[in-house]
Amino acid sequence: MKSFLMVAVGAALWGCWSLFLRPAGLSGTQSAFLSLVFMSLPAPFVLSRGAWRDRRATLALGVLALCDAANAALFFAAVQRGPVAVAVLTHYLAPLLIALAAPWVLRERRSPRALLGAPLTLLGLALLLGTPRGGLADPQTALLGGASALFFAANVLSIKEASRAFSPLAINSLHAPLSALVLLLVFGRDALPPALDGRLLWVGAGAILCGIVGNSVFSAGLKGVPAAAGSALTYLEPLTAALVGWAVFAEPLGPSGLVGGLIVLGTGVWVARAPRAPAPSVEVAPSGGCT
């Protein structure tokens, strides 16, 4: 259960981003770029030749770098276009995609609870966020959110594979520079903050707590958790975000929201407590002291 708890804590820390991004007042692309720059800072201290010898883990790290940039760009574009509820709900199709893909990509046993839990938690999230005006009347927002879900699912699968040889901190820090570079190449000057001022400190604090700490704890826990079950626990991110909005920013959270939150939590615990069959032994490449 320790690994499941670490995954849950990491996902909950992701839900605290608004505490730092709202006071900063930067655009989504600028916040994403700056966060990745701050998360790159530990990179020189986690380099290890031994870890790079595992070609599959190294390839997974490169895939993570590209997919994380695409995930951030698409999701922030969906949120900026709105409705936010449509963007978030379509983005969180990712756990269902992971539950379907994990047996093929990672050769993990199929998790019936994860397959059932994904739509249940999506229902809980819909109650938590409320029904957007006009429902899913904005297909472009839904398309952007759904596309970001594909890359978010690839992120989780890549982290799982990269953990064969790289430490959680290394996975977080080594992919971030390339992700930031991709955002810069795609968005150009729009990715850069307008000025070097105190707003950077807010983003930096968020990058340390929600980025470096959150990602590292999540990656460390994911090593001992099936990808499908771990992805189900990522629903704690929007649940935490909704609770932060209610407690700190006075955003409404009615009875349906409370019911939705209980569904998200209950389903996450149910998936996490699924009986686990003994996993087949897998030869892991030497990490060169990087684990």
* In the predicted structure, residue 284 carries a pLDDT above the cut 80: no
Q: At what angle do helices 214-222 and 139-162 cross, to 10 degrees?
A: 60
Paired tokens of 19: 């505490």
Q: What's the CA gap between 241 and 232, in Å, rounded?
A: 16
Paired tokens of 237: 């991110």
Paired tokens of 50: 């031994």
Q: Where are the domains of the chain?
A: 2-272
Whole-number pLDDT of residue 206: 92
Reference 237, options 256, 211, 259, 255; nearest CA is 211
pTM of the entire predicted model: 0.75
Q: Is the peptide bond before 238 cis (omega within 30 degrees of 0)?
A: no
* In the predicted structure, residue 282 carries a pLDDT above the cut 80: no
Q: Comparing 284 with 217, which gets the higher pLDDT?
A: 217
Q: What's the CA gap between 17 and 237, in Å, rounded?
A: 10
Whole-number pLDDT of residue 134: 47
Percent of the chain residues past pLDDT 90, beyond the cut: 32
In single-letter form, the type of residue at position 107 comes to R
Reference 240, options 218, 211, 264, 209; nearest CA is 264
214: enclosing H helix or E strand: helix 214-222
pLDDT tens for 103-128 read 887 777 777 877 787 788 778 877 87
